[in-house]
Structure 1
């Protein structure tokens, strides 16, 4: 069995099976019917109408509910599903559109299923689960909602946007007391679909599933993915925005977040003058997600803004520490909880390049990786503009001062993260220079971002002192061709001498653990209907139906894997031709 060593702990269990389902008619056509609480051992009100309910080993008493959202906000009074401008509400009730063809369960995250949703992993083998995660069955307690929001896209106000292909199917509070909002992506049209078809394709869905789970295990705040299903429904996409439209397969991801509210959620209300509703939404967010802020505090919105500023700076610094470029940093894609959401044309930087742009439609490079911190400041300023109608003059002045401190928050966290990547202990006034010096060398040589730090965590100080770089450290060998490399090494070794109580062995172990390097084996189980994947840069192209089992197991294999920080290239390496 082949084994690969990968530069992150992707501790998810990805399972593909060929479970089919029959007719996928929505379970409950009247959303009001679902509002009644389910008593212990009670039958759902629609049972006996020919629909199958969750069995005793399934989700018969699962606590999914939309009540907290529906009871807290006005709901769009128009129940017909057509594209329109919506006002004076936060959500529209709209049901997912089931696929017309057979649906296959492609992947599940065992951690999400068992440790967030409190379900047994065996539930994945039931047809009811398949129908639920594919939008074909609305379970008791769930009222599917599409969220109304706006946003600034590529620097300009875009007006009403909203969930154009996503349905928030309920809120679940698990045994740990964590509140999670479940959302289907690719589940059909909503009043916010604009010119879209409401669908997602397998290619982009695989990317979101894998990356959101990988980011979690890298320690970066993110939404999670529970499952991925694929159909044979035809979806047409212009993948590279060059006029070449191709047929792809429709897919749906069940994804979770503590909240899906974003900066654009507040912007649309401020732009529409719906200040009472904006205040109501803010109070809800603070009460549910910011426990350190008192809901009756007159400065609660100021404290909320201050928290979002510091946490957004932290998030973007974390992105930079792993070479992650989001690709579409619009205000409608920036979470108010400062987590990574809406994985679209993202990418992981391979060669270090501050101008790396993963989004082929970003012609001007607005969202290049080196500009993400600046874009974060732009987005936070738009959040402040949305909040200003609710602030008094004193609070506005203080909020502006808070925003001015964003840069310091970011650079402080950035330095902390890269100091750890270099195995440095304590603070030194020259650390910023040392880090910047290294990054400049890497930029000049287009050094591999991940492998440079990885090999620094493995090479000994004696080898560095002698500038003896073993052949297997290919990234450092290339970097060593820079005329200033020896000067940087001297500075680095001098700084390591200031690590009190440290040894070279401890340094290397600490760096390896901090960088998240673990060894994993993989195996692929093929079936007669196995398709194949091929990779091109940051894209995966599905060709035929896939039934693949990726089972990552921790091992002690020491064989090196020749980098490429793009997660999807790693996955494609497992299943490529």
Structure 2
């Protein structure tokens, strides 16, 4: 996540033990002994929205004020001390930027409640998360999320809902007039998010500046990808490897093959060519920009599962390889290629399920 430019806590160390622990991975009564491991993660602060909610609920206003003042003083020094409305606005804007980055990389957080949302808008509490394989907006990484509350598509809505809970938690620190302004601030979340979203997807398509019909262009592509279940990561990556005025697809462009027969593909390419011309960017520059923002590799669940299976046999080669490859996700790696990290996911990947105990 850090290598992708997404704000995140960092893994500093992992300790593996020979001891076994009993786990019920899918909460179905089927216990299993698994090796024990502890990951040490670091972040500037672990205060979350839930950290403030519980103080407000228990009417601990003094402690609430201390936590917010501490956060402002140490992590948001441009905000005047005591300006809690500005604090809310800052968290909201940073959160909109964070979820835009998640959406742009196909990342889905499986349990996005207020206890799992940082006040600093960094990604924390990695549990049942997942990166999209095929573009399925309804993708849910957590097998116990039967209602799809935390699906890929719902993430911006959940962020907005959590921002409203943050506003509620700050109410004891706000005047009546400020509480009205806070509600108006929450109402602007969708607009702020859409601006962030289109800005990032503009870069994913290699466009150097805003252009007329760019929203239509992005929507056309996503619609085709959804209907043909095109691979999310590789579709964008491979678009940056072809010339728009002379499209020649080889076996290495397997993700693009799935959308070239779509009825809207010609319309998409024509619109794409026109926008590229209007913005004045060369095809070579477009490809360069795209290869700098669209990764070749992401941590797909099947890769993690393969590493886990090896590690359970005391073989950590794949674990170390993933760490190396994913620290430079835009660069081609020969061993990663030989293992199919940029190929279509294996068939068995479809049966993978993860939970909070995975």
Normalising by the smaller structure, the TM-score range is 0.7 to 0.9
- Are 1:238 and 2:24 an aligned pair? yes
Contact (CA 8 Å) 1:349, 1:565: kept in 2 or not? no
Q: Cα offset for 1:310?
A: 0.5
Contact 2:101–2:200 (Cα < 8 Å) also in 1: yes
List gaps (5 residues or longer) in structure 2: 350-358
Alignment of 1:504 with 2:283, yes or no, is yes
Judged with a 3 Å threshold, the aligned counterparts in structure 2 of structure 1 residues 565 and 381 are, in CA distance, closer, same or farther, namely farther
SS of equivalent residue, structure 2 residue 121: coil
2:259 to 447, 454, 479: 479
Do structure 1's residue 281 and structure 2's residue 87 form an aligned pair?
no
Q: In the alignment, is residue 438 of structure 1 matched against residue 221 of structure 2?
A: yes
What CA deviation, in whole Å up to 9, does each residue of 1:131-185 have, x standing for no partner? xxxxxxxxxxxxxxxxxxxxxxxxxxxxxxxxxxxxxxxxxxxxxxxxxxxxxxx
Match among 163, 177, 180 for residue 394 of structure 1: 177
SS at match of 1:270: helix
Change in CA separation of 1:539 and 1:430 when aligned onto 2, cut-off 3 Å: farther
Cα deviation for residue 499 of structure 1 reads 2.0
For residue 31 of structure 1, what is the aligned residue in structure 2?
Answer: none
What per-residue deviation string (whole Å, max 9, x for no partner) do you get for residues 226-275 of structure 1? Answer: 11011122211111222211111221111100110000000000000111
Secondary structure of the residue that 1:311 maps to in structure 2? helix
CA-CA distance at 1:536 after TM superposition = 8.3
> Relative to 1, partners in 2 of residues 1:564 and 1:282: Cα closer, same or farther, differing over 3 Å?
farther
Residues 488-526 of structure 1 deviation map (CA, whole Å, 9 limit, x = unaligned): 1111111111122x21111111211122458xxxxxxxx
Structure 2 residue 6 is the aligned partner of structure 1 residue 220: yes
Q: Retained in 2: the 8 A contact 1:450–1:565? A: no
Task: Give 1:550's match in structure 2, choosing from 316, 320, 324.
Answer: 320
Unpaired segments of 5 or more residues in structure 1?
1-214, 519-533, 570-577
- Per mean C-alpha deviation after superposition, the further-off stretch among 548-557 and 271-280 is 548-557
Q: Equivalent residue for 2:39?
A: 253
The yes-or-no answer on 1:341 pairing with 2:124 is yes
| Among 110, 115, 127, the residue aligned to 1:327 | 110
Q: Are residues 1:469 and 2:249 paired?
A: yes
Contact 2:116 2:124 in 1 (8 A): yes
Distance 2:313 2:306 in 1: 19
Alignment length (residue pairs): 331
- Relative contact order, higher structure (CA 8 A, sep 6+): 2
Question: Is residue 409 of structure 1 aligned with residue 192 of structure 2?
Answer: yes
Q: Which has the higher helix share?
A: 2
Flag the 1:233–1:471 CA change in 2: closer, same or farther, 3 A: closer
Match of 1:350?
A: 133
Partners of 1:305 and 1:280 in 2: how far apart? Answer: 16
1:424–1:238 distance in 2 versus 1, CA, 3 Å: same
1:311 corresponds to: 94
- Equivalence for 1:264: 50
Q: Is the 8 A contact 2:233 2:294 kept in 1?
A: no
Q: What secondary structure sits across from 2:212 in the alignment?
A: coil
Question: For residues 333 and 121 of structure 2, what CA distance do their matches in structure 1 show?
Answer: 36
Distance 2:8 2:116 in 1: 12
SS where residue 53 of structure 2 aligns? Answer: helix
2:186 & 2:295 partners in 1: Cα distance? 32
* 1:494 pairs with 2:277: no
Aligned residue in 2 for 1:380: 163
Map of 1:445-464 to 2, 5 A cutoff? 445-464=228-247
- Change over 3 Å in CA distance of 1:413–1:288 after alignment to 2: same
User: What is the alpha-carbon distance in structure 2 between the residues aligned to residue 517 and residue 474 of structure 1?
Assistant: 13
Which aligned pairs between 1:499-538 and structure 2 lie closer than 5 A?
499-500=279-280, 502-517=281-296
User: For residue 207 of structure 1, what is the aligned residue in structure 2?
Assistant: none
Report the 3-state secondary structure (helix = DSSP H, G, I; strand = E; otherwise coil) of the residue aligned with 1:354: coil
- Alpha-carbon distance in structure 1 between the residues aligned to 2:186 and 2:332: 46
* Matched residue SS, 1:225: strand
Cα pair distance change 1:256/1:503, threshold 3 Å: same
Structure-1 separation of matches of 2:125 and 2:345:
20
Deviations along 1:77-136, one digit per CA (max 9) or x if unpaired, are xxxxxxxxxxxxxxxxxxxxxxxxxxxxxxxxxxxxxxxxxxxxxxxxxxxxxxxxxxxx
Alpha-carbon shift at residue 389 of structure 1 (Å): 1.6
Equivalent runs, 1:100-111 vs 2, <5 Å? none
Indicate conservation of the 8 Å contact 2:233/2:296, yes or no.
Answer: no
Distance 1:246 1:403 in 2: 45
Output the CA distance in 1 between the equivalents of 2:60 and 2:241.
57
1:193 counterpart residue number: none
CA–CA separation in structure 1 for the residues paired with 2:269 and 2:293? 21
